[in-house]
A and B are shown apart, each in its own frame.
Chain A
Amino acid sequence: MMKRTLLIAAAVLGLSAPAFAAGETPVPPQLKWSFQGPFGTFDRAQVQRGFKVYREVCASCHSLNYVAFRNLSQPGGPEFSEAQVRALAAEYKIQDGPNEAGDMFERAGRPADRFPSPFPNENAAASANGGKAPPDLSLMAKARTYERGFPWWITDVFRQYSENGADYLVALLNGYHEAPQGFTVPEGGHYNEYYPGHVIAMPKPLSDGQVEYPKNEAGQPQAPETVDQYARDVTAFLTWTAEPHLEARKRLGFQVILFLIVLAGLLYFTKKKIWARVGGEVEGHATPPMTHNP
């Protein structure tokens, strides 16, 4: 018996050992987000900091094609002032044209412009980045997820867990480590604990102190200038870019559901009253076996 147990244990270890060497992808930790739950809203300061991280770090390689400058001042996002957005847009050079002479020309950005891409086209992006174009970040927080598994995919519905993408992004940005013993990272790749397969083309993008955060009254940065904080802030920003109407959606949802519950209640009593005319509502069938004799 003992021998058999040992054999099974050896078999299990034998099976799991290569899996461990290849590195099982760990499950990203679930973080607290201001935008989770039925009343979630974006933390303005956090989304503004996240935008700063995007602009100073990510934007050198990643486009944000679906976001226009004007979006930054819309309600439910970073909510910069319109003047701030105009000034920000003017810092960008936008290619426009053709003009009356048929020439393309550059002009200062306007709020209605979308964020210009860091590369003129996908091929240029790929050739500058080791053969693979860095993906657009507009929808990144909705375009990534991780396996939840049973029974969590059921409980997620009830606790409204839909921050899978955000949790994955923070884990990924924090997931750059030395490759474990025996793991060879191919040329041009980088080891990342949370990336499927662990070899990611993107080098570690963030380091402590890299982005300067706005100061509070005491002259201290309003949030720690650490990789983890940068990762959370830029992820909050990207969650907004992926779902710019998230706040309006949740707000309207509460009103709609409240209305429907009241309406359902009124209809229920109306129905009761109507059915009372025929002696009340009766449903289904008597529990068999039937009693035929009165």
Chain B
Amino acid sequence: MSQHSTTYVPKSAFGQWFESRLPIAGLIHSSFIAFPVPRNLTYFWTFGAILAFMLVAQIVTGVFLAMYYTPNAGMAFQSVEHIMRDVQYGWLIRYLHANGASMFFVAVYIHIFRNFYYGSYKAPREVLYILGVIIFLLMMATAFMGYVLPWGQMSFWGATVITNLFSAIPLVGETIVSYLWGGYSVGNPTLNRFFSLHYLLPFMIAGVVALHIWALHVPGQNNPTGIPIKSGKDAVPFTPYATIKDIFAVVVFLIFFAYWVFYMPNYLGHADNYIPANPAVTPAHIVPEWYFLPFYAILRAIPDKLGGVIAMGAAIVIWCFMPWLDTSKVRSTAYRPLYKQFFWVFVGVCLVLGWLGSRPAEGWYVIASQICTVYYFAHFLIVLPVLGFVERPLPLPNSILESVMGVQKGGAGMPAGANAEPQSKG
């Protein structure tokens, strides 16, 4: 990162004085203005910006909600209704926050699968990628605890089911669960600590996001060809080219977001969560939010409780090993005809797992979940390692520019002097 900052020279005397004491303007300049961006990025590369926007949106709406919300088992549900009915535009803030969580996951899943498709996880981006997996885990924890806060039936029973999973851990399981609960069942202490953590974790996410962006700026962005930037003509400066594209993409995403907020605000939630939490009445079906469903299906596919918990955890932890499980030298699936097919089968399996997670765990749903779970892990443990040896990838272009413009043509690209190449060429 420090290498880029050399190109930044403050114009004013104060700027120079300040820059020599805290070179933050240079850091911003090198990271978000002069940073070389592959010129062939598609809209799949705008989801980083969309996610950054969503994180800020969730924090801002959440801070306002916290001004009116009461984290008490006897008052939480009522305080949410107070926000919905009496607080000026409280309904808007709450629907933005509740649907914002879903939009956050829509964007993160697109971001993750873009990374799978174009091999962004491969060297030299392993650390960048693993930081992303950590962000995803933090997001899951935050979203889960956030859904508990309205203290409706699904909040209460979802919290009961998920926290109970920890009891499967040998020796320390029961202790962990009682620490999570702050007692012997889900109750007011649970709600209090979940509220506290729900407020804390987004800032931890923001911290890891900073590391994620930092790690991104060392090797630079991957691109649809998967081959690194080789000359200034392969790249354009981040500002204004990527900036304007990201802003446009964020606004288009906002249209999608607004549709849910204003026209289908409760579609992605559960009707049961408009019934106040009642420890004496269990809902007919306890179902997590849609974004947890594939993992929920994997959990229930294993007949053993501990086995299910391990499988569910492994389903995400295994992502961290992808850079080493994938033996192919080629990053982009565009040049991997065989892997392309397996990729789409994998996407299909994940969607089917999601659907199975919403079904009751009975009959052939369980068998289908088990088949899909086996395939899910086989994708990582068999398909990824084996394909690197048996697949014959298509010839790669010589450069990004050649792949998108043909050999003779060529636009301006990075201005002379600013075409600092990313330090490492994976």
Contact = CB atoms under 8 A, between A and B. Distances in A.
Interface of A: 38, 66, 71, 135, 138-139, 142-145, 150, 156-157, 160, 162, 164-165, 196, 242, 244-245, 248-250, 252-254, 256-257, 260-261, 263-264, 267-268, 270-271, 274-275, 277-286, 288-290, 292, 294
A196 B266 CA distance: 22
Contact of B332 (A242, A260, A280, A285): A285
A258 to B, nearest CB: 10
Contacts of A139: 81, 274-275
Given A143-B274, A279-B412, A288-B334, A157 B264 contact: yes
Interface string B409-423: 111110000000000
A277 B334 CA distance: 28
Contacts of A144: 271
A249 B91 contact: yes
B251 interface: yes
Contacts, number: 143
Contact of B42 (A71, A242, A283, A290): A283
A260 B254 contact: yes
A145 B262 CA distance: 19
A73 to B, nearest CB: 14
A278 B413 contact: yes
Contacts of B254: 260
A1 B70 CA distance: 68
Contacts of B241: 274-275, 278
29 contacts: A135-B275, A143-B274, A145-B271, A156-B267, A157-B264, A162-B264, A162-B266, A245-B84, A248-B91, A252-B262, A256-B262, A260-B251, A260-B254, A263-B251, A274-B240, A275-B244, A278-B236, A279-B412, A281-B245, A282-B39, A282-B40, A283-B224, A284-B224, A285-B225, A285-B397, A285-B404, A288-B394, A290-B396, A294-B407
B284 A196 contact: yes
Nearest to B223: A285
Contact of A157 (B81, B267, B407): B267
Which 8 residue pairs are nearest across A and B when measured between Cβ atoms? A253-B262, A279-B411, A143-B274, A145-B271, A282-B404, A288-B394, A267-B248, A278-B411
Interface residues of B, number: 59
B115 to A, nearest CB: 16
Which of B41, B251, B254, B284 has the largest number of chain A CB atoms within 10 A?
B251
A261 B248 CA distance: 11
Contacts of A280: 411
A285 B334 contact: yes
A105 to B, nearest CB: 25
Given A268-B248, A278-B241, A292-B395, A143 B272 contact: yes
A154 to B, nearest CB: 11
B341 interface: no
Contacts of A143: 271-272, 274-275
Given A274-B240, A274-B241, A290-B403, A244 B85 contact: yes
Contacts of A150: 355
B92 interface: yes
Nearest to B401: A282
Contacts of A160: 263-264
Contact of B261 (A135, A244, A253, A271): A253
A286 B271 contact: no
Given A289-B394, A292-B398, A257 B271 contact: no
Contact of A283 (B41, B259, B266): B41
B261 A286 contact: no
Contacts of A263: 251
Contacts of B404: 282-286
A126 B413 CA distance: 75
Given A249-B95, A256-B262, 9 more contacts: A142-B274, A160-B263, A253-B258, A267-B247, A282-B39, A283-B42, A288-B395, A289-B395, A294-B407
A250 B262 CA distance: 6
B408 interface: yes
Contact of A286 (B259, B265, B403): B403
A187 to B, nearest CB: 21
Which of B241, B248, B266 has the largest number of chain A CB atoms within 10 A?
B248
